[in-house]
Structure 1
Amino acid sequence: MQSVLLITGWGVGIEPLQHLQQQLRGAGCVAEVINIFDAADPIAFQATLVKVQHYDVLVGWSLGGQLATLLAQQFWEQTGIAKTLITLASNPCFVQREAWPCAMPDVDFQAFKQSFYAQPQSCIKRFCYLLTQGDVQAKNNWLSLQSLIVPQDDRLMKKGLELLETLNLVSMLKQYQGKQLHLFANQDTLVDHRIAQYCQQLTAKFLSVDFVEGSHSFPFFQDAETSDKILKFISEND
């Protein structure tokens, strides 16, 4: 029986990932969903790192994928044990850099950040819209996603934006010694699926890339397919 730690992304809380959690549990896995945390806070990071020892696989969506990467690398450095790392719709460097151009332009990110600071509720509503663009039932999924979200801690949301703005984990993925899968959606409007080309060029030892049809929110609304992809990768690399 595999144990899976799921880490959600910015702005939505754990509720939208609970369907994926149920799919994994239905397949016989132990699965837990946790919220984002302030990775820059040593106490918060260490508390989450303690959890990692109890799981075989770390799975993170969006910002959660970056957090999962940080945890996997730190756990390996401390113990020599490489957990299986799986990211869903996650860019290791979310804001564009000269050496990593397949990302959100800084000017766009700054505008988004300021919109959250000015009108957080309106910003989250628009964020849900962006998450579901590309889905066949985009409007229905947009409304459904909004209904799943519960209010998040404002301080943690701001810390999450800081992480999205500053984290650049490309070199970490290159160096990671464990098995890693990066799953992207072909119609994602927030993390361009073409980033897969950049990921495939990394010289990591056990790095794989795969695709699904859909939007940035595919782990929520295509939970069965996402679960199948995760379980297949785990099975093939056990």
Structure 2
Amino acid sequence: MTIHYQVYGEGEPIVLVHGWAMHSGIWRNFAEQLAQTRRVVCVDLPGHGLSAEIPEFTLESVCEQLSEIVDSKACWIGWSLGGSVALAMAGLFPEVVSSVVLLASNPCFVENADWPGMPENQLDLFAENLGVDCESTLLRFLSLQINGLPEFRKLSKKLAAVLRESRMPTEKTLQGGLAVLKQTDLRSALADLRVPVAAMLGEKDTLVPVGIGEAMRVINPDLHLSVIKNAGHAPFLSHRPELIESLIDFWESR
């Protein structure tokens, strides 16, 4: 087994999938709260945290690894890059997915003429800077996730501390993750999804524009959309009660 994971609580299963460059420790407080009523599995993506690196970081190879850690259907909550993983899991391994939550995430991260995503050159810049100063590049990326929030300084320190709890991913793994963000388009997977799906977005997210929610709803009219007021890209850190309320509403609506 190359995937490291931690389990909290008992009950209906949830799998939490972190974002680019992070590890499962980012979920700790959030997972402990969810675990009051559910079984929460926090995974380290391949090459992140305590999980072993794999030869090539692709959605297919990542999902194959993750499919080994659960033996029943679960709600997969994917944050940022983790949302792409959750969507891909639903298509590749439907036997372990009961529902999908795209948390500050979307099926296509790069903007184009008909999609309000991130500018492609922003991801290119991160890719270029990784080889120059990996840690500083990661810290700049993390600061973007909470930019403009009143608790910026406090959250920035927390993100940096969590990042340093474990070994840094290698540049190879980080570049692989960026390639997934840049090249993946799962809009057709979202349209074809046969399990309940929710998108939970931060109103002030600078990486995933809040307007992308309605664009996702056009693709999948059954999408359960929640916009968390005044939240940025990491609402499970900055707006935990509001996010949990949105999750409960989604689960009850199913």
TM-score higher than 0.5 here? yes
- For residues 57 and 72 of structure 2, what CA distance do their matches in structure 1 show? 19
Aligned to 2:39: 30
- After TM superposition, give the deviation of residue 220 of structure 1 in Å: 2.1
Gaps of 5+ in 2: 1-10, 47-55
1:18 to 11, 28, 31: 28
- Deviations along 1:39-60, one digit per CA (max 9) or x if unpaired, are 6275543231233443421110
In the other structure, the counterpart of 2:100 is: 85
Give the match's secondary structure for 1:83. strand
Give the aligned partner of residue 65 of structure 2. Answer: 47
Does 2:227 align with 1:211? yes
Structure 1 residues 55-110: Cα deviation after superposition (integer angstroms, max 9, x where no partner): 4211100000110000012123xx5x75211110002111123342x111112221
Instruction: Indicate if the aligned counterparts of 2:59 and 2:85 stay in contact, CA closer than 8 A.
Output: no
| Larger relative helix fraction | 1
* Structure 2 counterpart of 1:145, one-letter code: L
Secondary structure of 1:51 counterpart: coil
- Answering whether residue 85 of structure 2 is matched by residue 75 of structure 1, we say no
Among 190, 203, 218, the residue aligned to 1:201: 218
**Correspondence for 1:140 among 154, 161, 169:** 154
- Inter-partner Cα distance in structure 1 for 2:100 and 2:134: 32
Aligned residue type for 2:193:
Y
Question: Which gives a bigger RCO, structure 1 or 2 (Cα 8 Å, sep 6+)?
Answer: 1
TM-score (norm 2): 0.84
Are residues 91 and 43 of structure 1, via their aligned partners in 2, closer, same or farther at CA, if it must alter by over 3 Å? closer
Distance 1:126 1:132 in 2: 11
Query: CA shift at 1:231, angstroms?
Result: 2.3
Q: Give the aligned residue type for 2:45.
A: I
Using the TM superposition, give the Cα deviation of residue 174 of structure 1 relative to its aligned residue in structure 2, in angstroms: 0.5
- Unmatched 5+ residue regions in structure 1? none
Alignment of 1:1-238 (within 5 A): 1-26=11-36, 28-37=37-46, 40=58, 44-76=62-94, 79=95, 83-100=98-115, 102-150=116-164, 151-154=167-170, 155-202=172-219, 204=220, 206-213=222-229, 214-237=231-254
Classify the secondary structure of the residue corresponding to 1:95.
coil
For 2:101 and 2:59, locate their aligned partners in 1 and report how far apart those are by CA, in whole Å: 23
**TM-score, normalised on structure 1?**
0.89
State the distance in 2 between where 1:59 and 1:98 align.
Answer: 28
State how far apart, in whole Å, the 1-side matches of 2:157 and 2:197 are: 33
Q: CA RMSD in A?
A: 1.9
Aligned-partner SS, 2:201: strand
CA contact (8 A) 2:145 2:233 kept: yes
Contact residue 39 and residue 45 of structure 1 kept, 8 A: no
- The question of whether the paired residues in 2 share the 8 Å contact of 1:7 and 1:61 is answered with yes
Identity of aligned residues (%): 21
